[in-house]
Structure 1
Amino acid sequence: MSTVPSPRRWLITGANSGLGAAFTRAALAAGDVVVAAVRRPRSMDEVAAEHPGRVTVVELDVRDAAACRGAVEDTGRIDVLVNNAGYGIVGAIEETTEEEVRDAFEVMFHAPLRLTRLVLRQMRERRSGVIIQVSSMGGLLSFAGAGAYCAAKGALEQASEALAAEVGPLGINVVIVEPGAFRTGFAGSALRLSPPISGYEGTVGPARAALTASHGNQPGDPDKAARAVLAALDLPEPPLRLALGEDAISAIRAKLTAVATDLDATAHLGHHTAVVGMTD
């Protein structure tokens, strides 16, 4: 971040609630300025009034490609892009409609890549900038009932891993944030529940019940999460991935162990698949 001007100029989607609001507070506390991209501009009135001249509010539904382009053009210089807008969705693959899957991907995959493409030219020309992709521990693992959500986040992670390799030599950092359960509206008003189908009570049912019951009781503090992200940006080498919360760290470690176990158990099969005559 040493080459980024001070104060930094942030563009944050979904800046009026949850982790987005926490990012806004953290950036302002650091002395930076924020362009808050939200669907309901009036929801930012109080924050904007408390920080005159340091918070600009733009109306934006990230599904709208033209509006995304307009928001980036109107913002001007962007030092830090935070692709935070998103929502939770619970349902078995059979329970989840194609329209629901497409919307999840539109909001949590296509929109972040769209905004990323829009800001890259100016970051590339300046040889500086940061792109923060708010994923989830579900970007690296999945479970019954979370197929659509985790697929969208996982797709974002894979694209962002490639992005980091492409833009790192140009002075642009990419950070994939992987939160666990934080005390936001994710399991409340922002959670979408697909209508249940008989037969999935024992698999998807527990996830549906646990998520809705967790609202307001999640262990994670959004403000501490945002401060951790800012601290990561100040490291000499910011990480590609940043897991947040004991639950995320434990679950990701378990996933990596499971993958390693499968590799060890099947390596003897995979190693001997070359065309005869070629080196194994």
Structure 2
Amino acid sequence: MSTQEKEALPGQKVWFVTGAGRGIGSDLVTAALEAGHYVVATARDAAAVTDEVGEHERLLPLPLDVTDLAAVDAAVGQALDRFGRIDVLINNAGRFYTGFFETLSPEQVRAQMEVNFFGTLNITRAVLPVMRAQRSGHVVTVSALLGIVGAPFVSIFSASKFALEGWMESLAPEVAPFGITTTIVEPGAFRTKPPKDRGRTVFPDIAIEDYAEATEQSTASVKAFNGNEPGDRKKLAAVFVTVVDMEQPPKRWVAGTDAVEGITAKGRQLIADATAFSELSTGLAHAD
């Protein structure tokens, strides 16, 4: 084990990336390595990382299921054994469950939350003590446009991302006294590589006649959209590294024209909703 591995050189950081076996996760690993950083890249199958990224002296691929607490602790321990620190945590692991709420089984709903929400909490809980001891670190959580703007046929996926948004927004001031910064990344739609990345998408379990036609149409729409999304993942990964490397990174980074437009419209709608009935909303204080 070299000294260089134990102590990153000035400007170099140790990244810990979850969900690195495909999609934006593997692109981020490549971009971070190209920028000179060290990367711990985790996936359910560690071989998927090297299949996508290749082997690299500054890369440590590890198997990790973020819902397995023992595996989470083991992966963080291996990262520290190899590199001695963790400077940047990228919470990227997730699944995409589609379907109208009533057509998703309770098991599917729980599975969505276990990976996207509780899995993210698991890995962050394991890494925060490391960052507190260092008195430095950056926690980055990948949310989505759907974490701000809800939509039909993705209610549970959207719920998992809304939960992450509230948690991260509240976490930021809790960890700031220890030199730890946070960023929520809210991407729009970025192009997949079918059929591999399509494996992240799960379709509904329950058939309900009232939803049958809309389910068929929405399922076809989701499948047709895969591979035709407007965003370029390579560009996203390159700018992602730029944002993370900022001296004062943003609390939120909205990525993609569709995300900017959607979140801006939601902001205007929130203001309109908050002020629509001002007399009814603001006249509720005690008179004494």
Using structure 2 for the length normalisation, give the TM-score.
0.89
Q: Which amino acid aligns with 2:64?
A: L
Does residue 106 of structure 2 align to residue 73 of structure 1?
no
Deviations 1:174-232 (A, max 9, x none): 11111111112597221111044222357655543322211111111112112222211
Map 1:95-174; keep pairs closer than 5 Å: 95-174=103-182
1:257–1:168 distance in 2 versus 1, CA, 3 Å: same
Does residue 202 of structure 2 align to residue 192 of structure 1?
yes
Partner of 1:270: 281
Shift of 1:252: 0.7
1:111–1:168 distance in 2 versus 1, CA, 3 Å: same
Shift of 1:46: 4.3
Shift of 1:260: 1.2
Which structure carries more helix by proportion? Answer: 2
CA contact (8 A) 1:10 1:82 kept: yes
Structure 2 unmatched runs, 5+: 1-7
Count of residues in Structure 1 that have an aligned counterpart in Structure 2:
274
CA contact (8 A) 1:175 1:242 kept: yes
CA contact (8 A) 2:96 2:200 kept: yes
Does residue 100 of structure 2 align to residue 92 of structure 1?
yes
Does residue 74 of structure 2 align to residue 35 of structure 1?
no
Q: Which amino acid aligns with 1:72?
A: V
Higher mean alpha-carbon deviation, 156-165 vs 6-15, is at 6-15
CA contact (8 A) 1:9 1:80 kept: yes
Within the candidate set 60, 64, 68, 1:60 is matched to: 64
Structure 1 unmatched runs, 5+: none
Within the candidate set 246, 251, 254, 1:235 is matched to: 246
Q: Which amino acid aligns with 2:156?
A: A
Root-mean-square deviation over aligned CA pairs: 2.1
Partner of 2:25: 20
The separation in 2 between residues aligned to 1:32 and 1:135, in whole angstroms, is 23
Using structure 1 for the length normalisation, give the TM-score.
0.91
Identity of aligned residues (%): 38
Q: Which amino acid aligns with 2:119?
A: A
Q: Which amino acid aligns with 1:129?
A: G
Does residue 217 of structure 2 align to residue 212 of structure 1?
no
Deviations 1:32-75 (A, max 9, x none): 11111111122233466542x21111111111111011111111
Within the candidate set 239, 248, 251, 2:259 is matched to: 248
